[in-house]
């Protein structure tokens, strides 16, 4: 039976891929999925109010990811940090998810930022905000991811301010951290991060931070959607420092790597692709690079669609697919962000995901897509 989508008639797939959880860790790559949060649709709040989170559904989704052997990157951009989820909500998310990880033996790393600052801040205030969040993550027993800071981008006068701020934080970290470089396509307020709008100069500063503290840096996450720059940075890292790709456009080739190395992964697209991504990496575990690419290459079209400009609104598509897949019973987001993408965009996401066999119950996904079309007056 066909469904009339805005882009035309489509005949949904009848059977999903067989992606049964194994629970065994991945061996050849360290892979984190940045996970979304599930809103409480019954909360009587406005988009400007603090987020109302459905904690049961939010934690259930993390158990889903852990069951496939993936790590969870918590309280990151995918969880709507700074786009619906404030620091108080993120702190609670970190505490709850870290406790849940301990009960199931799941790997977890959590974002450390400065989003408790609500206005212009001095560099000492930026450092203090980072320190507060770093302490909470470490007390929770999770690995820390030092995220790019809007407040630091606004306060820093040049590269030296970044070098001094990160050196201060790395000296305080009790365990090696992941450094995150998030590009302005994800957050326009991060334009000129590392002290320069020139990416070559910014890259040199970024690498200098790592070179001066290699024992405190587990790895780096680069989210610039620039495969060539990631490969260049990867090849310039000190020995033992991992590169975690955050490139949602070019991840198959970057994870597969070349004769001079490869990237691990910390990706928002692995929220909807989690089971398939884990299955693909297990092919790499056996040395089957061709099998890995055969599984993951076809997913790039969906990822590029979800992350198309304005890229920062990709979270809407991620949550939409989680609803279609049956991981939550509604399509409501914190901050009202379910309205950030158009009906044609969401319909195309449904079609691409369905073609890949991502929905465990294709009939449920189709029924929910039809319901959305009806609500938006697009059903025919």
pLDDT at 48: 84
> Residue 379 — pLDDT band, cuts 50, 70, 90?
low
Query: What value does the CA radius of gyration of the chain take, rounded to a whole number of Å?
Result: 20
Give the global pTM. Answer: 0.96
DSSP state of 29: S
- ω before 310 within 30° of 0 (cis)? yes
Partners of residue 5 on adjacent β-strands: 8
Q: Two tokens at 279?
A: 């299955």
Q: Give the DSSP H or E segment for 125.
A: helix 123-139
Distance CA 228, CA 250 (A): 10
> Residue 376 — pLDDT band, cuts 50, 70, 90?
confident
Query: Span 267-285, mean pLDDT?
Result: 97
Q: Two tokens at 233?
A: 């940075």
| Residue 305 main-chain phi, psi, to 5 deg | -65, -50
Tell me the pLDDT tens digit for each residue of 21-61.
Answer: 987 889 999 999 999 999 999 999 988 889 999 999 999 99
Q: 272, 324 in Cβ contact below 8 A?
A: no
pLDDT at 52: 95
DSSP state of 308: -
Partners of residue 8 on adjacent β-strands: 5
Tell me the pLDDT tens digit for each residue of 70-122.
Answer: 999 999 999 999 899 999 999 999 999 999 999 999 999 999 999 999 889 99
Q: Is residue 148 scored above 80 in pLDDT?
A: yes
Query: Span 61-66, mean pLDDT?
Result: 98
Tell me the pLDDT tens digit for each residue of 190-234.
Answer: 999 999 999 999 999 999 999 999 999 999 999 999 999 999 999
Distance CA 334, CA 321 (A): 16
Query: Span 248-273, mean pLDDT?
Result: 98
Tell me the pLDDT tens digit for each residue of 319-353.
Answer: 999 999 999 999 999 999 999 999 999 999 999 99
Count of CA atoms in the C-beta half-sphere (13 A) of 32: 29
Longest CA span, the chain? 62
> Residue 354 — pLDDT band, cuts 50, 70, 90?
very high
Q: Is residue 308 scored above 60 in pLDDT?
A: yes
Q: Do you know the residue count of the chain?
A: 380
Tell me the pLDDT tens digit for each residue of 137-147.
Answer: 999 999 999 99
Give the chain's mean pLDDT.
96
Q: Is residue 243 scored above 60 in pLDDT?
A: yes
pLDDT at 378: 66
> Residue 380 — pLDDT band, cuts 50, 70, 90?
low
Distance CA 75, CA 82 (A): 10
pLDDT at 24: 82
- The β-bridge relationship of strands 242-245 and 264-267 is parallel
């Amino acid at each position: 039976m066909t469904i009339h989508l805005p882009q035309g008639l489509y005949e949904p797939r009848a059977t999903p891929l067989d992606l049964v959880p194994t629970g065994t860790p991945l061996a050849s790559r360290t892979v984190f999925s940045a996970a979304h949060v599930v809103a409480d649709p019954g909360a009587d709040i406005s988009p400007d109010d603090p987020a109302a989170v459905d904690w049961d559904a939010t934690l259930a989704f993390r158990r889903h990811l852990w069951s496939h052997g993936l790590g969870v990157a918590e309280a990151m951009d995918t969880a709507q940090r700074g786009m619906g989820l404030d620091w108080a909500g993120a702190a609670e998310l970190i505490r709850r998810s870290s406790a849940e990880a301990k009960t199931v033996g799941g790997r977890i790393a959590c974002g450390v930022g400065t989003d408790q600052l609500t206005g212009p801040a001095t560099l000492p205030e930026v450092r203090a905000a980072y320190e507060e969040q770093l302490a909470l993550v470490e007390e929770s027993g999770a690995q820390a991811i030092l995220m790019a800071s809007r407040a630091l981008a606004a306060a820093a006068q040049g590269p030296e301010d970044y070098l001094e701020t990160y050196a201060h934080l790395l000296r305080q970290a009790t365990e090696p951290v992941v450094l995150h470089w998030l590009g302005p396509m994800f957050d326009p307020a991060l334009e000129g991060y590392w002290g320069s709008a020139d990416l070559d100069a910014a890259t040199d500063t970024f690498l200098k931070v790592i070179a001066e503290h290699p024992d405190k840096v587990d790895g780096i996450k680069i989210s610039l959607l620039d495969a060539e720059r990631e490969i260049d940075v990867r090849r310039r890292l000190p020995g033992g420092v991992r590169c975690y790709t955050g490139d949602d456009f070019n991840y198959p080739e970057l994870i597969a790597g070349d004769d001079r190395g490869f990237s691990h992964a910390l990706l928002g697209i692995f929220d909807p692709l989690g089971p398939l991504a884990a299955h693909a990496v297990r092919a790499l575990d056996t040395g089957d690079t061709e099998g890995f690419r055969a599984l993951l290459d076809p997913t790039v079209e969906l990822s590029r669609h979800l992350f198309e400009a304005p890229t920062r609104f990709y979270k809407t598509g991620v949550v939409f697919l989680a609803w279609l897949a049956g991981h939550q019973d509604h399509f409501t987001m914190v901050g009202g962000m379910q309205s950030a993408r158009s009906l044609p965009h969401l319909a195309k996401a449904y079609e691409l995901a369905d073609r890949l066999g991502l929905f465990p119950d294709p009939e449920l996904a189709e029924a929910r897509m039809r319901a959305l079309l009806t609500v938006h007056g697009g059903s025919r």
